[in-house]
Structure 1
């Protein structure tokens, strides 16, 4: 197993002088040196051939006993220098102070076969200085969910962190699965996550909240140089503003993809949003079944529903506003930051127009298409129709009222199918007239198949 590391993050940014996993407040540093805690019997349960190939690994590398030892946290390969990072965040709308990598330990930054940098991070590798009172471990059920969703999202065309492998640890982890006071042992596991960077909004918020503008300045300069090299030029407000605007537009693109496929993250705290615009931290995520903009998979958010499906674009804007506030000490005037936030709104609106046309299989967007899609969403909600099944089935049949019978199977309630059949017939008539303006049925179906998932992960 040959991996080449170039660990710029810990080489160029200040680290914690204290080594080890003991819980502590870490000031003036962006990372802490901490090794994974060994496990009893690591074994490979699953791995991604695509991600392995990206890193230059072959099937025989995965089969080596040493692979499970390294990615189970029992050994280090040459060049690895494990660390956990220090960040804060707003959780459910409230500042939470220092958070950090509580159960994730990065092994280092590997140079992939395409020459790009990929950080390898073990989730569930044991306690870090940021674990507080937790054990830093992960259970198999949540680790399977993270592994599967990382790769599923990539194949749905959604920007995301990836997963190299899933390792069973051979250890039991005590968890209260239903939060009802009945904790019990569960099989432990570790996921190796892979991304060019795991930097989050919260990495920038914490030094700003502490008044450490010098550390904030260093982090921004480093991030632009390493992760946004196309912007790397003379330091100054113009460069920083261009960077923030790009963070905003990438986040808008991400939100549009989530809405396109029906994905609900569930915990959109500022410490769970990637500075690169990637989906990060697969916790209580889900996909909407019957089309319900108010649905959330997070049971702890069922009352307020802050992170519900239909509200995700607004939450992203709110989070970007918190990031703008953190960056404000670097700007003499707030106008560039306000321009970045406007760039988010403009980019998301453009993505919505693009995805409206694509999901309906239209060759191009027209202003009237917004009403066509809005009316369809209202119908899907009222009739409790499965969003994934509906759009996929809609693309498999010629548009028009005759398609209604084929769409019956996308309804959860037969009575609601009968109740809303006439309204759906009217909509299908309008849709057929709109598709007739394009005139290419084969192209319509191809466009719809390209953006409307056939399969999604369901709880």
Structure 2
């Protein structure tokens, strides 16, 4: 009670073995190839040993889950080893996920399975290379022990290989970190935590007292708007936007039952737990982020004499998101700027994509190759999942392409520059669920090659990458309803 964190040691595992690592993150943290190859690296990042200066702890926080206050939650299977400062002066917190129980595990074992660990490892790095604010991943370590999980919560538990991910971020503070002291009426702790967060993670902010808190909250709101706008741009669905899964730094955090839009559907959620209410559906993510910020504003309200500054922060969210959304529209459609009629142009297209069951990623990538002077559909031929729906929609789609072509011509931009700009906004490669599941299947059979291949392709998601076309293919029919390829549970 009253604690923001608790000291806790990782629980050793039988046979820690490095399965994969991020070369970029390792280099940033100063690890050499020899360091990474050493048995000591796997021991440290599997939870069996500590490096000098490491003082492991688990954080205590609360949160609203699926719209309801859940009380105290905390790091149930995440243990932070400490912070390092890299050669550029940036601070990084190293956190093991799956390294054993903590005081906040609520009778759980604190472990993680290989499938969910691969998903977090791959998506952390894929999102970074897409240019989306995110926590990073340093390493994926196999533990050599089995973990029992009921994947679908249907009474059929099974043993799965265990793993530990080391995830990395400047801070893992969440909205829920501030909600818990507020809920307990512990205003001194709330204030100390806010002061600590501002001093460590927002040192560029000036002022003091309420003015400083107001500037900080407004920046949290703006950063949240930016990251959610990025999700909408590339078709990422977080799947479990509880307030304990929302980063104070505006990072994408806690990769659980996330998913990528294949056929464009604003009502799709990847989370089986959310299948009925669809609270965290793709199209609702901007409004859910706002709802979560309102909860954060409530938690911070004891630091303010009135609510005006908090409302100003929430207004900043809406303005920032609308500006980012308009930027997305211009970039995705190949326009120099976004006019009011271009918002309608995008809305009309999204309705067509939905009714035609078109692949979001493939359609926007192909749109860059459509000739605005003579718009035709061949560059988009591979972007549809249902021939009958495509045929039914084709007249409306051709009419839309003509509208878009006329708008592009009126814009007057250079064709080569326009195509390059569109490709820089519309990735060719995203971490589709079926691709991740194929890599998981191979890894569970002892072959990490699929993980390495995906990690390499996702390093350059906006490039053509000749020979890698298979990683840009639309979801195959066999993956439409297969476990892990469409919806997922929180079980890991």
TM-score (norm 1): 0.93
CA distance in 2, matches of 1:150, 1:295: 22
CA distance in 2, matches of 1:143, 1:52: 18
Partner of 1:125: 99
Q: Which of 255, 263, 266 is the aligned partner of 1:290?
A: 263
| Secondary structure in structure 1 of the residue aligned to 2:26 | helix
Partner of 1:86: 60
Partners of 1:252 and 1:345 within 8 A in 2: yes
How far 1:366 sits from its partner (Å)?
Answer: 1.6
Q: Which of 337, 341, 353 is the aligned partner of 1:364?
A: 337
Partners of 1:207 and 1:215 within 8 A in 2: yes
Partners of 2:357 and 2:390 within 8 A in 1: no
| Secondary structure in structure 2 of the residue aligned to 1:164 | strand
Partner of 1:389: 362
CA distance in 2, matches of 1:164, 1:395: 35
| Secondary structure in structure 2 of the residue aligned to 1:105 | strand
Partner of 1:170: 144
| Secondary structure in structure 2 of the residue aligned to 1:231 | coil
Partner of 2:160: 186
Partners of 1:228 and 1:243 within 8 A in 2: yes
Partner of 1:314: 287
Alignment of 1:274-285 (within 5 A): 274-285=247-258
Partners of 1:401 and 1:428 within 8 A in 2: no
CA distance in 2, matches of 1:437, 1:443: 15
Partners of 2:59 and 2:75 within 8 A in 1: yes
Partner of 2:133: 159
How far 1:34 sits from its partner (Å)?
Answer: 0.2
Partner of 1:35: 9
How far 1:401 sits from its partner (Å)?
Answer: 5.5
| Secondary structure in structure 2 of the residue aligned to 1:434 | helix
Q: Which of 192, 201, 219 is the aligned partner of 1:227?
A: 201
How far 1:259 sits from its partner (Å)?
Answer: 0.3
Partner of 2:420: 446
**What is the number of residues matched between the two proteins?**
432
Q: Which of 376, 382, 385 is the aligned partner of 2:349?
A: 376
CA distance in 1, matches of 2:141, 2:373: 50
Q: After superposition, what is the alpha-carbon deviation per residue over 1:92-127, rounded to whole angstroms, capped at 9, x for unaligned?
A: 000000000000000001111211110000000000
Q: Which of 304, 307, 315 is the aligned partner of 1:334?
A: 307
Q: Which of 71, 86, 107 is the aligned partner of 2:45?
A: 71
Gaps of 5+ in 2: 434-492
1:299 matched to 2:300? The reply is no
CA distance in 1, matches of 2:376, 2:336: 20
Q: After superposition, what is the alpha-carbon deviation per residue over 1:156-197, rounded to whole angstroms, capped at 9, x for unaligned?
A: 111000000000000100011222211111000000000000
Q: Which of 397, 401, 406 is the aligned partner of 2:379?
A: 406
Gaps of 5+ in 1: 1-26
Partners of 2:375 and 2:405 within 8 A in 1: no
CA distance in 1, matches of 2:195, 2:207: 10
Q: Which of 71, 76, 99 is the aligned partner of 1:97?
A: 71
| Secondary structure in structure 1 of the residue aligned to 2:377 | helix
Runs (4+) off by over 3 Å: none
Q: After superposition, what is the alpha-carbon deviation per residue over 1:253-307, rounded to whole angstroms, capped at 9, x for unaligned?
A: 0110000000000000000000000000000000011110000000110100000
1:202 matched to 2:152? The reply is no
Alignment of 1:424-439 (within 5 A): 424-439=397-412
CA distance in 1, matches of 2:137, 2:296: 27
Q: After superposition, what is the alpha-carbon deviation per residue over 1:384-413, rounded to whole angstroms, capped at 9, x for unaligned?
A: 100000000111232366431331210101
Partners of 2:114 and 2:162 within 8 A in 1: yes
Q: Which of 250, 253, 270 is the aligned partner of 2:223?
A: 250
Partners of 2:238 and 2:255 within 8 A in 1: yes
CA distance in 2, matches of 1:96, 1:328: 20
1:421 matched to 2:404? The reply is no
1:144 matched to 2:139? The reply is no
**Cα RMSD (Å) of the superposition?**
0.9
